[in-house]
Amino acid sequence: MFHIKNDNWIGRVSAFQATKTLENGAEYIKGTVNEAVVLPPKDKVAGSYHWDFERLLSLSLIPLTITSVVNGAHPITDLCLGVILPFHCHLGFDAMITDYYPSRRSPVLNKVLTWSLRGATLIALYGCYEFNTNDVGMTELVKKVWHA
Amino acid sequence: TVESATGGQVTNKDPLNKTFNIYRWNPDKPAEKPHLQQYQVDLNACGPMVLDALIKIKNEQDSTLTFRRSCREGICGSCAMNINGINTLACLAKIDRNASNTKIYPLPHMYVVKDIVPDLTHFYKQYKSIEPFLKKKTAPKDGEREHYQSIADRKKLDGLYECILCACCSTSCPSYWWNSDEYLGPAVLLQAYRWMIDSRDDYAQERREALQNPFSVYRCHTIMNCTRTCPKGLNPGRAIAMIKKEMALE
């Protein structure tokens, strides 16, 4: 609490009030009170392209689900569902990991969770493929469970 | 009893005593844990707003009670605090005369300087990072001293320029609670949008590009606590959605 970052008085006051190191707080002041926050490096892939892709998958799931409900099982819609659903869920869970365990605050846990999620998505993709190919298919499964 | 200012007939109102539970913490005694202190206030001898009660308590009962205040009319943004669970300005929040008590806390998930005064250093640094000033690419022509703007273009700024940077919205956002170092928060993003769509500003694209990262904008998950709590009735959630839309189409 009493770490003194700068020699000047203002720096000392702000250091007393708000300086928290990375280990024990979500927020910490870098630099003096007069310096603007430095925005992270620009990366469209992680930025707007990622957001666009998320919304694209979400939107495509709407007609896909409707046709599956109305039309019943069909190999193509099952294939699309079996690919898009795991990716959609992966992006959703990944957003949660970024929110609650960002790499700047919990570097190890973030890595562990991200890679576990990737592994789980791969297993889900494989599982959907197996189920769609050698079993009744996803739409048929939902139908069976619904009417069971 | 209530005194009459003109010295005429006085109707004696029975005192209406209500409890105020106020968060207290003293940095001069940091080992003492923060606690709620109770104060009794006669609402019939007090102004209608929570700030009136706070000032009355500070005047008459406990002068060590510390809080920020200035304009007392909802335009400066100093008295932003959490009243009965809602982030508003104390000078605009009417005291609930029917409730038995009023809870006053500092803005959530902010470091506390003293009592209900939060440390807004990081908030202001984030505001500075979006460069909230007009930027032109070309020098003004000789003789032209104003930056002309049509009425329609000026209308686009309505609902954005009125922000008083009280921090009620940002401190009501769970995403800002968990990621305030890197997520800019609704208040700052509202202002970022205000400069993006200002027709006199030439750097709209650069402003959008500066936000191209997973955190500055995209931690917003449209929780919409911000719009709900804004004491000025602004809509930061919508401004953030418009930023996302403009960035998506680039």
Listed in sequence order, the DSSP H helices in chain B are: 50-60, 121-129, 151-155, 174-179, 186-196, 204-210, 225-229, 236-248
Q: Which of residues 209-248 of B touch A (CB under 8 A)?
A: 209-219, 221, 244, 247-248
Q: Which of A1, A48, A99 sits opposite B30 (nearest CB)?
A: A1
Q: Mean of the per-residue pLDDT values for chain A?
A: 84
Low-confidence ranges of chain B (pLDDT < 70): 1-11
Say how far apart CA A61 and CA A63 lie, in whole Å: 6
pLDDT at A138 over 50: yes
Report CB contact under 8 Å: B178, A100: yes
Q: Which of B121, B123, B221 should one mutate to test binding to chain A, selecting the residue with the greatest count of A CBs within 10 A?
A: B121
B124 touches chain A (CB under 8 A): yes
Find, in chain A, the residue whose alpha carbon is nearest to that of B247.
Answer: A48
| pLDDT for res A13 | 41
| pLDDT for res B127 | 97
Q: Which of A29, A47, A52 sits opposite B122 (nearest CB)?
A: A29
Question: Domain A48-147 belongs to what topology?
Answer: 3 helical TM bundles of succinate and fumarate reductases (1.20.1300)
| pLDDT for res A17 | 41
The pTM of the full predicted model, rounded to 2 decimals, is: 0.88
State ipTM.
0.84
Q: Which of residues 84-113 of A touch B (CB under 8 A)?
A: 95, 98-100, 102, 104
| pLDDT tens digits along B219-228 | 999 999 999 9
| pLDDT for res A27 | 53
Report CB contact under 8 Å: A26, B179: yes
Q: Which of A27, A36, A95 sits opposite B180 (nearest CB)?
A: A27
Q: Which of residues 13-32 of A touch B (CB under 8 A)?
A: 14, 16-18, 20, 26-29, 31
Which secondary structure element, helix H or strand E, spans residue B112, and what is its range?
Answer: strand B112-114
> Measuring CA to CA, which residue among B27, B240, B217 is closest to residue B119?
B27
What are the domain boundaries of chain A? 2-39, 48-147
Look up residue B92 and give its DSSP letter.
T
Q: Which of residues 36-75 of A touch B (CB under 8 A)?
A: 36-44, 46-48, 50-52, 55
List beta partners, residue A61. none
Find, in chain A, the residue whose alpha carbon is nearest to that of B177.
Answer: A26
| pLDDT tens digits along A25-71 | 445 788 888 889 999 999 988 899 999 999 999 999 999 999 999 98
| pLDDT for res B141 | 84
| pLDDT for res B11 | 67
Provide the token pair at B231.
């004491």
| pLDDT for res B69 | 97
Find, in chain B, the residue whose alpha carbon is nearest to that of A105.
Answer: B179
Find all residues with CB under 8 Å of B149, minimum gap 6, and list them.
B199, B200
CA dist A127 to A82, A120, A124, A130, Å? 9, 10, 5, 5
Say how far apart CA B218 and CA A98 lie, in whole Å: 11
DSSP SS3 for A96: helix
| pLDDT for res B3 | 62
Report CB contact under 8 Å: A48, B212: yes
